[in-house]
Amino acid sequence: MWYWNKYTVEPSEENIEESYTVTFIDYPDKLFADSETEAHELAIDFLWRMLND
């Protein structure tokens, strides 16, 4: 899969309400999620949409 080096998931320091931050390598966008699993799902969905636009 091409996703593996496209984003990182780390504990959130920027957003108190959400526990994890997704940072993308090729995009300035950041996503926030309640769980690590949700963070990966959001990241893959985001990258899929960017690929298909």
> What are the phi and psi torsion angles at 40 (to 5°)?
-65, -40
pLDDT band at 2 (very low <50, low <70, confident <90, very high): low
Q: What is the pLDDT of residue 4?
A: 56
Is pLDDT of 51 > 90?
Answer: no
Q: What is the pLDDT of residue 21?
A: 93
What strand order describes the sheet that includes 7-11?
Answer: 7-11, 20-24, 30-33
Taking a C-beta distance cutoff of 8 angstroms, is the pair 4, 45 a contact?
no
CA distance linking residue 13 with residue 53, whole number of Å: 31
Q: What is the pLDDT of residue 23?
A: 93
pLDDT digits (tens, 9 = 90+) for 10-48: 998 877 778 999 999 888 989 999 999 999 999 999 988
> pTM for this structure?
0.78
CA distance linking residue 33 with residue 3, whole number of Å: 18
